[in-house]
Structure 1
């Protein structure tokens, strides 16, 4: 079941905050201080580090026009709220959009949309250790990782594998060995079979062979 934007913010408001709501939280500071304070309210976590906050703020500022102004407005809105729950639950319009933009990288650990089907996407890493999707369940579920061996396992060639040198210029995962690709014409029988014109590849070959002899 999908969750709409307001329900998501309300659910965040129900997370027990790790900090007390007080005017001291809203002490004057830099833009990064404001971002970290707003992030603490949204996530309910009091242990967000300045480094992760700075990375996320920089990425969002780069990708969302007017983000600094929207952050300042959201900061002011939350500062005038009587409580964390009331502040998050009452957000609307641009304030709501900005809160969700800030929440996403804190919970997922990245901005943008990663893709496993293309070599380059618009995703950018933000944080792993402070990814709140794992931090909230850290005492029960370990953070997701898939190391196939101990530290440094990638240094040695696996047994039985003849690893040739990488081509010159292959310095990133986005490397493509060819500048231009030529797509070969499909086998007519397989093409016809894939289109559902025949029940089997044998029937397709037989039919096309008969047609070729006519």
Structure 2
């Protein structure tokens, strides 16, 4: 019996060891894990949202004033912030206590106190999609960064386009506001009123004051 055949003797037995296909598949999986796992980018599949993730998202929505922030981007941004800034989770807990008092983003900023820098850094991260404003800072979102959203309907995100030729020649979408706000009407000048002019009061003239001594008479000239 041929030892290289299977139990039924129909097919040659597969040699022991790792096949080339398995080796290539393992290499690809390892590469993707290293590329996307550094800042928790695979968290949407491999890691469930934690309590800190939920707190980070709720704080971010209040501070930015945008209730539509995406949970997946929030998890990735939170992971990147934790990797860049030590003990960042405690800062989020402190910000959570701050926003729990209510108010608009501006009102929250006014009473932030020592948390003002942390609040502004979180707001900037959502608007720029990057953890820090510096070269080679980790970037979590680009197309979905908040700074590109106000003009997204009429101006594409840099390096993107509206996927149709000549879109730049089209009329921009309406703004919904007047291009030139009307200036407030200037009220007419009041009608001048006639004013009666009166002569200033006059003082009485001084009377003649008589001299207290007779007038001086010079002595006659005498020759010596």
- TM-score w.r.t. the length of structure 2 is 0.46
When Rg is computed on C-alpha atoms for both structures, the one with the higher figure is 2
Highest relative contact order (Cα 8 Å, sep 6+), 1 or 2? 1
Structure with greater helix percent: 1
TM-score (norm 1): 0.48
